[in-house]
Amino acid sequence: MGVSGCGKTTIGKQLSAVLKIPFFDGDDFHSEANVTKMASGTPLTDEDRLPWLASINTFAKQQASSVIIACSALKKKYRSCLSQDVHSRFIWLDGSFELIHKRMKSRDPHFMPPALLQSQFDTLEISAECVPINIDQSTEKITTEIVKAINKKDIGIIGMGVMGKNLARNMARKGLAVSLYNRRVEGKEENIAADIAQQYPEFESAAAFEDLPAFVESLAIPRKILIMVPAGAAVNQVIDQLKTTCQKGDVIIDGGNSFFRDTETRYTALQKLGIEFVGVGVSGGEAGALDGPAIMPACSEEAYAQVGPILEHIAAKNSLGQICCQHIGTGGSGHFVKMIHNGIEYAEMQIIAETYDILKATGKNNLDIAAVFDSWLAEQGYGSYLLEITTKILRTKDEEGYILDRILDQASNKGTGARTSIEGIQLGIPFNIISSALHARFMSSVKAQRQKVNAQFNTTINKFSIDLHNLKEAYHSARLLNHIQGFEYLKAAARQYKWELDLSTIAQIWTGGCIIRSDMMFEMRELLQQTDNIILDDSITLQLIQTKEQLVQVCTKAIQAELPIPTLTACLNYLHGITQARSSANLIQAQRDFFGAHTYKLTEDPTGPSHHTNWETL
Ligand code: 6PG
């Protein structure tokens, strides 16, 4: 790329000979009208150029392997057009007006007259993706520098754990040139990146490192580096090391489950160094990382222009072909949204677990339960990744029988659900459904105590029957309430942290690739385009009214059978709570005022003065 006269065709042909990659001159794609216009000394407009650029992009997309194309590509939006769905590298032949003007006057006849050179310089916009090559040197030296530059990798991935490795494999499979890095810990982690590069054919042209400066040096400028190491101190350590080698304009991406406040701090600190920081929520586990995760990136517009195309390129697409990666916002909002994803996930998992428990208590075995869930999955609106994997789990046997029946009933967690609960407390919003699922895991962790108390109380679950239709409706209602609460939580956070969160976009990201992908999430995406108060939407109100009785009946039967159903009842309590116009909180206020003189408002004057009553003297 570069202004007319900078030597694109000459260098392009030289490069083609050296790299044995076909060369094409972008000028050959101009329409007759454009050529005539330029020959008449009239500069082209955007309207003239965009169809020309689109024709070059179409040509590039049709190529089965790399090509070299000479094209002025003067503006950032021109380069965006050229690189649409094409993995591209922009080599900018950089020279002074004087040098180029002199060359233009001595070159073979060309439809671009020297008089237009100034308009080219006036139009030229250089941005981070332009790799500068000084043209005030021999074509051989220019070509050598370019070869060196294009052998740089598009993106580097630090941390060859399951997620880092699979994201790197995903990128390599999509045609990106990657550098892999894993630290060296004598006796524990040695040659990890090199071994992985050897292991997978998609890494044929990948570079592998244990030396971080060499890894950084291997990357095309502006460097894009994805950190996939455990959240917390490890991320800080890596960033501190990168600070010494990265430069202004480089982009560091954290794709782990980092705490959003940590991301905010890192974002601010790196911005001061001119280094872009992208906090990315990645969902979909091992398989998602490899085949297409849901990606929730937060960063500046400039940083997204650099890494957004790569993240969108490797992200999942939902069943409508929509990409499950969109620019969420800035700072820690990407990691925050991922945290809420995990909060909703915990509750979704617990709702299924309690439903499984109820079905077991009615005497059904794993195969029966799997059959019930399969019948639900066959219904529009009930499809969900978590329910699908549950039916597979229920049916999985080995020589000793059902694996599920041998798994210790103590659920652990890596902390994302806990953080969602802590933040919910900070925000002071209803999030009882998510927290009930977290507490269910905590309850499961006191297994020894549960066994003792069970013996002490001689507790048995009384077998009971349940109407399967009611159970299905109760299950659906609980899930709906979980989603409603989850999006209400996001709204409260957006207000608190002044994030411009587009809830429909977030729902779209969650319709593919992630753990909570489901038919219901598509419904959320549609709804959130019309309203951000889901429960007041008539169709949702109707669904909740029509299934409330079933939720009550299922909870009642399970409670009578002494079956713990913390999340199903949390959903029902949320529904009862959010639909109760007048609650018993007036008594709480009175008690607080009685013993602490904390005062209270009056119902008929909620924004008026606070009142105190001397309860003892009246
Ligand atoms: C995802 C998952 C993932 C999660 C692990 C462990 O979206 O891919 O949510 O990010 O961290 O599955 O989660 P817990 O240990 O907190 O259950």
Together in a domain, 134 and 84? yes
pTM (two decimals): 0.85
Together in a domain, 127 and 175? no
How many angstroms is it from 342 CA to the middle of ligand 1? 6
Least confident of 79-93, 289-303, 472-486, 540-554: 79-93
Question: Of 342, 419, 438, which is best to mutate to test ligand 1, by the most ligand atoms within 8 angstroms of its C-beta?
Answer: 342
Query: What is the number of the ligand 1 atom nearest to the C-alpha of 413?
Result: 15
- The C-alpha torsion from 179 through 183 and 189 to 194, rounded to 10°, is 20
Residue 88 pLDDT > 90, yes or no? no
Query: What is the number of the ligand 1 atom nearest to the C-alpha of 345?
Result: 9
Together in a domain, 238 and 382? no
Residues 6+ apart with CB under 8 A from 393: 403, 404
Instruction: State the pLDDT confidence band at 426, using cuts at 50, 70 and 90.
Output: very high
Q: In whole angstroms, what is the distance from residue 199 CA to residue 2 CA?
A: 40
Q: What is the pLDDT of residue 111?
A: 61
Helix (H) or strand (E) holding 279: strand 276-283
Q: Give me the chain's average pLDDT, please.
A: 94
- φ/ψ region of 41 (left if φ > 0, alpha if ψ in -120 to 50, else beta) reads left
How many angstroms is it from 316 CA to the middle of ligand 1? 17
Instruction: State the pLDDT confidence band at 42, using cuts at 50, 70 and 90.
Output: confident
Give which of 574, 381, 385, 586 is closest to 488, Cα–Cα: 574
Q: Region 229-258: what's the mean pLDDT?
A: 95
- The binding-site residues of ligand 1, defined as CB within 6 angstroms of any ligand atom, are 257, 283-285, 341-342, 345, 413-414, 416-417, 514-515
Query: What is the number of the ligand 1 atom nearest to the C-alpha of 346?
Result: 17
Together in a domain, 478 and 613? no
Q: In whole angstroms, what is the distance from residue 34 CA to residue 30 CA?
A: 6
How many angstroms is it from 279 CA to the middle of ligand 1? 16
Residue 106 pLDDT > 80, yes or no? no
Helix (H) and strand (E) counts for the chain?
Answer: 26, 13
Least confident of 6-20, 27-41, 380-394: 27-41
Together in a domain, 190 and 248? yes
In this structure, the strands spanning 294-298 and 155-158 are unpaired
Query: What is the number of the ligand 1 atom nearest to the C-alpha of 417?
Result: 16
Q: pLDDT tens, 580-617? A: 999 999 999 999 999 999 999 999 999 999 999 999 98
Give which of 577, 573, 575, 565 is closest to 350, Cα–Cα: 565
The CATH code of the domain that includes 226 is: 3.40.50.720
**How many independent structural domains does the chain possess?**
4
301 lies in which domain range?
A: 155-331
Q: Give catalytic residues, as residue numbers.
A: 338, 345
Instruction: State the pLDDT confidence band at 113, using cuts at 50, 70 and 90.
Output: low
Residue 113 neighbours by CB distance under 10 Å: 15
Together in a domain, 218 and 113? no
Domain stops at, among 299, 331, 363: 331
The answer to whether 478 and 351 are in contact (CB under 8 A) is yes
How many angstroms is it from 528 CA to the middle of ligand 1? 25
Cis peptide before 309 (omega within 30 of 0): no
Residue 498 neighbours by CB distance under 10 Å: 11
The CATH code of the domain that includes 346 is: 1.10.1040.10
Q: pLDDT tens, 311-361? A: 999 999 999 999 999 999 999 999 999 999 999 999 999 999 999 999 999
> Going by CA atoms, what residue is nearest to atom 12 of ligand 1?
285
Q: pLDDT tens, 189-229? A: 999 999 999 999 999 989 999 999 999 999 998 899 999 99
